[in-house]
Amino acid sequence: MCEVINRIQKFKNHEQLLLLLSRKVVLDDYKEYCQNLIDDPAFNWEEFLGLAYNNRLNGVIYNRIIQFRHIPRETLLCLQLSFQAQKEREKIHQKEIYEIFKQFENENLSYAFLKGAVINTLLYEHGERISNDTDIMVDEKDLQKCSEILERMGYIQGSLDKKTNKIIPATNREKIFARINTYEVSPFIKETEKSFLNFHSVDVNFKLSNNEDSSNSKRMLENATVVSNSNGSIRTFAKEHFFIFICIHLYREAVMMSQILIGKDLMTYKFLDIHFWVLSIEMDWDIIYNNAKEINKLKEVYYTMYFTEILYPKTINEDVLKKFKVDDCSYLNEYMGKENSDERYKWNLTFEERVFSRSRIVEAFKNLKEEDTRYEKIKTALKE
């Protein structure tokens, strides 16, 4: 049995199939093993399908599961229909992204597209991966110009009322609060009148995280470059900087209580993005290490690489993983309290036990009351 299969045996059968079929390439080494899982009469297709959708793996899985026999008709139909819908949605999404690229380039902004906009352009076929919004990093000095361009394009800074399906413009107070207290400004939203993407939302970041200034993001923006596929082009960070950024983003959400309580902390597609990126993009690991160390983000990068290797073995070279290992790894089994909090809690569940289970929400919820009490004390102290 191959090493990849050996290392994911700790997961349940439907979880194993999920991980094997979402890999960048389903090698002959484990195709027979996948078919044996599928042919098992006790295989839980309901759990498999639920996890595929909840972890946004359904598109990439559909493109691989069609080569196997004996897939239940309803399962295959469900995956096929959603794949086709995602394919049409992503075409609309990327068309809007390419138009923003043209407008920003014409105005000579210092900016870079982030996350899904880049990953979908470079790594996935239309339909394999879905994005809910578009993330862009903009130099703080260009935020006003960025806002003016997006507003000319029909975007409104605010939020979407899901009951009325109307955009509610942000107040000046909300705009100022976001600028002062977070790493991004209030979202920009545009109605598209397209059936598969009614609204397109743009999140504009101006620093890497809450607890730092914009100097690190500014440094990354200085090395931004244009990348393309057959449909269009976008500007993004240099490939090593982009990898550091997606590691920072994954770690931030993985340990944030607010994300844990809604089950968005360990969505597997984030680790899959790392798997695809590492196997698709040739990078200089020394550059990544030196840059991550310089901006004090080695812990974030190691966390992401370490757990990606658990879910998708043979992604990160063993020597590379050793190079990035930090002295104290206890943080790998910790999560934070509320945002802007230094309070940390230890997980009782292992990563393998919690990644596909909502039991992690139950465990984290027990600490929510303590966090609320602590937070109220802080607010009272600030008022005094």
For the chain, the helix, strand and coil percentages under 3-state DSSP, each to the nearest 5: 55, 15, 30
Kindly state whether residues 101 and 208 are assigned to the same domain. yes
The per-residue pLDDT for 370 is 64
Domain count, the chain: 3
What's phi and psi for 326, nearest 5 deg? -90, 165
- 379 within domain boundaries: no
Of 350, 313, 311, 355, nearest to 332 (Cα)?
A: 350
pLDDT by position in tens, the chain (length 384): 699 999 999 999 999 999 999 999 998 999 999 999 999 999 999 999 999 999 999 999 999 999 999 999 999 999 999 999 999 999 999 999 999 999 999 999 999 999 999 999 999 999 999 998 999 999 999 999 999 999 999 999 999 998 898 999 999 888 888 887 788 889 999 999 888 889 999 999 998 887 787 888 999 999 999 998 888 899 999 999 999 999 999 999 999 988 999 999 999 999 999 999 999 999 999 999 999 999 999 999 999 999 999 999 999 999 999 999 999 999 999 998 765 567 889 999 999 999 999 999 999 988 876 656 655 555 555 444
Q: What is the pLDDT of residue 382?
A: 45
Both 149 and 103 in one domain: the answer is: yes
Of residues 187, 147, 184, the one with CA closest to residue 167: 187
Alpha-carbon gap, residue 313 to 20, rounded angstroms: 10
> Are residues 105 and 123 part of one domain?
yes
Q: Which residues of 198-207 are buried (b: 16+ CB within 10 A; e: fewer)?
A: eebbbbbbbb
In this predicted structure, what is the pLDDT of residue 4?
A: 95
52 and 7 within one domain: yes
Domain CATH code at residue 211: 3.30.460
Same domain, 212 and 251: no
- Tell which residue, 108, 98, 136, 116, has the closest CA to residue 232: 98
Give the whole-angstrom CA distance, residue 128 versus residue 70. Answer: 22
d(CA 94, CA 88): 10
* 93: Cα within 13 Å, side-chain hemisphere: 25
Token pair recorded at residue 241: 């900087």
Cα angle, residue 150 at apex, residues 197 and 132 outer, rounded to 5°: 30
Q: Are 20 and 107 in a shared domain?
A: no
The CA-CA-CA angle for residues 368, 373, 379, to 5°, reads 120
The reply to whether 222 and 317 lie within a common domain is no
For residue 210 the two structure tokens come to: 């809450």
**Measured between alpha carbons, how far is residue 87 from residues 55, 62, 180, 232 in Å?**
17, 12, 37, 16
Q: Round to whole Å and give the CA distance between 272 and 57.
A: 9
Q: What is the end-to-end Cα distance of the chain in Å, rounded?
A: 65
- CA pair distance 226, 91, nearest whole angstrom: 20
Residues 126 and 43 occupy one common structural domain = no
Q: Is 111 exposed, middle or buried (0-12, 13-18, 19+ CB in 10 A)?
A: buried
Query: Are 202 and 287 within one domain?
Result: no
Whether 378 is covered by a domain: the verdict is no
Per the structure, the complete domain to which residue 275 belongs is given by 238-369
Do 94 and 233 fall within a single domain? Answer: yes
What is the token pair recorded at 139? 């130099």
pTM assigned to the model = 0.93
Q: Are residues 258 and 247 in the same domain?
A: yes
Per the DSSP assignment, residues forming a β-bridge with 202 are 134, 188
What DSSP element (H or E) covers 137? strand 134-138
